[in-house]
Amino acid sequence: MQVIKTKDDIKNIITAYKKENKTIGFVPTMGALHEGHLKLITEARKENDIVVLSIFVNPLQFGPNEDFEAYPRSLERDTELAELTGADIVFAPSAKEMYEGPPSYTVKVTERVNVLCGKSREGHFDGVATVLTKLFNLIRPDRAYFGMKDAQQVAVIDGLVKEFFFPVHLVPVETIREEDGLAKSSRNVYLTEEERKQAPILFKSLSNAKELIENGERNRDVIVEKIKHMIQMQTNGIIDYVEVLTYPDLKEIKELSGNIIIALAVKFTKARLIDNITIEITS
């Protein structure tokens, strides 16, 4: 496996692969790899000749009150995990390599962003869309892999690819869960012992909502109330939001139909957990 640090080097490598008509699978990350990322690499490995993992903590997607400096960096460990999981290339550029100075060209996103977690993170998805535009142009992947744990990010990138006609196929990968249903996250270690026992209720409340919908419930408010009630009664977490939206457009919906997402965020003492499920309502 190669570890590449510069734009020029990755460009040359990609150009050579392109000339040989190799397919390229791309897994963009900010490092601090966990099982979710490894699943993305595994999926990319199955479907492409070459698997490129990028590790770049993108300053542009951090808000002024979000801690860019404190974001965990562990390149050596990440590189080892990437190699073990079957990546061919780790692209780990410096901030200077990706942004020569303050950006003069950015992607501005106006749909799918002012809901869910995006509501409290103004400009976050502009930063995501901008860095992905740059990474897509460098890596020129045939397929790009993103975890459905951050479903809003997947929706925003889906729109980016479609509106800007990027010649890349977006592959959403299902959230990995613990045996008890809790979505895997590097933040789970910040839960107290008691909170860890309660946390699976989040996914249970979503699964319960899914069952209600399968049994015919179509009222958005009923679904939201059932989920809120369950979390309030069975955990000490503080609900940030519980929302039902169309997917991937992320529009409000009252009477459920078509593709929808049920998404939630719950604050525990030292960890804010998010989870979601998407459901296709066919009748």
With respect to its own copies, which residue has the nearer C-beta, 141 or 200? 141
Assess 103 for contact with its own copies (CB under 8 A).
yes
What are the strands of the beta sheet with 143-147, ordered from one edge?
A: 2-4, 89-91, 50-55, 24-29, 143-147, 169-173
Alpha carbon 221 to its chain centroid, in Å, reads 26
Active site annotation includes 37 = yes
Pair 213, 206: CB distance under 8 Å: no
Assess 160 for contact with its own copies (CB under 8 A).
yes
* Out of 159, 200, 237, 248, the residue judged to bind its own copies by CB under 8 A: 159
From 129, 130, 157, 145, select the one nearest 53 (Cα to Cα). Answer: 145
With respect to its own copies, which residue has the nearer C-beta, 113 or 279? 113
Q: Is 275 helix (H, G, I), strand (E, B) or coil?
A: strand
**Residue 39 Cβ vs its own copies, minimum distance, rounded to whole Å:** 28
Number of residues counted as binding its own copies (CB under 8 A): 30
Q: What CA–CA distance (Å, rounded) separates 214 from 124?
A: 34
**Residue 156 Cβ vs its own copies, minimum distance, rounded to whole Å:** 9
Assess 164 for contact with its own copies (CB under 8 A).
yes
* Out of 110, 215, 282, 283, the residue judged to bind its own copies by CB under 8 A: 110
With respect to its own copies, which residue has the nearer C-beta, 126 or 275? 126
Q: What CA–CA distance (Å, rounded) separates 195 from 236?
A: 7
Assess 22 for contact with its own copies (CB under 8 A).
no
* Out of 33, 138, 173, 202, the residue judged to bind its own copies by CB under 8 A: 138
From 228, 238, 157, 234, select the one nearest 200 (Cα to Cα). Answer: 234
**Residue 239 Cβ vs its own copies, minimum distance, rounded to whole Å:** 29
Between helix 220-234 and helix 200-214 the angle, nearest 10°, is 150
Assess 33 for contact with its own copies (CB under 8 A).
no
Assess 268 for contact with its own copies (CB under 8 A).
no
Q: Among the options 37, 124, 169, 229, which is catalytic?
A: 37
Q: What CA–CA distance (Å, rounded) separates 189 from 199?
A: 12
**Tokens 């408010």 sit on residue:** 221
**Would you mind telling me the total number of residues written for the chain in this entry?**
283
Assess 167 for contact with its own copies (CB under 8 A).
yes
Assess 158 for contact with its own copies (CB under 8 A).
no
Assess 107 for contact with its own copies (CB under 8 A).
yes
Q: Is 258 helix (H, G, I), strand (E, B) or coil?
A: strand
Distances (CA, A) of 62 to 8, 110, 273: 26, 18, 18
Query: Which residues in this chain contact its own copies in the complex, by CB under 8 A?
Result: 7, 11, 15, 18-19, 21, 100, 103-112, 129, 133-134, 137-138, 140, 159-160, 163-167
- Active-site residue list: 37
